[in-house]
Amino acid sequence: MKKFLFVFIIISFFMCAWTISAAASEKPDYEKYGRIATAVVKEDFPGEEVVEYQYTGRQKASAADVIDSFTFQVNENGKPVTIIVKVTHSPDNNRTLRLTVEEKRG
């Protein structure tokens, strides 16, 4: 009985370790849209320094679509500019439907 319990604990330990490592190696599903948002900001502000980048969350747009939001801090001619990029897409088919860019100076 002790041998069976020991084998069960060892197997459980390895199963948990495998599950945790598999979950850690998966990329977040918004990563693709973060790359798109970064490319848009770099295109709109060529040669300017992107100081900060943050994924600010997901909202439900409709039954099938979501909006992933990203905030960037850019120094344009030494002045800070906040850029908010929103990517509307369908998680079911991974198609981008709309992209909006909003600037906040100050």
Per DSSP, the residues of the chain read: -HHHHHHHHHHHHHHHHHHHHHHHHSPPTTHHHHHHHHHHHHHHSTT-EEEEEEEEEEEE-SSS-EEEEEEEEEEETTEEEEEEEEEEEETTTTEEEEEEEEEEE-
- Cα separation of 64 and 74, whole Å? 32
> Do residues 79 and 70 lie in contact, with contact meaning Cβ atoms separated by under 8 Å?
no
pLDDT tens across 4-63, in order?
A: 554 556 666 556 555 554 444 556 778 888 998 999 999 988 888 888 999 999 999 888
Q: Please indicate whether residue 68 or residue 22 has the higher confidence score (pLDDT).
A: 68
Predicted structure pTM score? 0.71
